[in-house]
Amino acid sequence: MAQTKNQQFQNIEKAPAFIAWNVTGKGDKPFWQKIGACWTHKDGKGLTLQLEILPINGRIVLRQPQEPLE
């Protein structure tokens, strides 16, 4: 039996484990654009990647979120 979208997202933690970035360019001035986020499943056996946009060039980089500056 297939899971519904809501059932899949019930297994996702609220805070993302990683932020998804599209990185274009190399060297001293690469351009980083936030394109989505990634959450770890509660059972620790998988990840869910949710992209807000789908890049057509560059590479997708997953990085842990940084602590907010206060």
Identity of residue 21 = W
Within a domain: 46: yes
Given a contact cutoff of 8 angstroms between Cβ atoms, the answer to whether 37 and 18 are in contact is yes
Residue 69 has pLDDT above 80, yes or no: no
> What is the rounded CA–CA span in Å between residue 60 and residue 39?
16
- pLDDT, residue 1, reads 44
Within a domain: 7: no
The model's pTM is 0.73
Within a domain: 68: no
E strand or H helix at 8: helix 5-9
User: Tell me: the pLDDT tens digits for 14-65?
Assistant: 899 999 999 999 889 999 999 999 999 999 999 999 999 999 999 999 999 9
Within a domain: 5: no
pLDDT: which is higher, 7 or 63:
63
Instruction: Indicate the number of domains in the chain.
Output: 1
Question: Domain range for residue 32?
Answer: 12-63
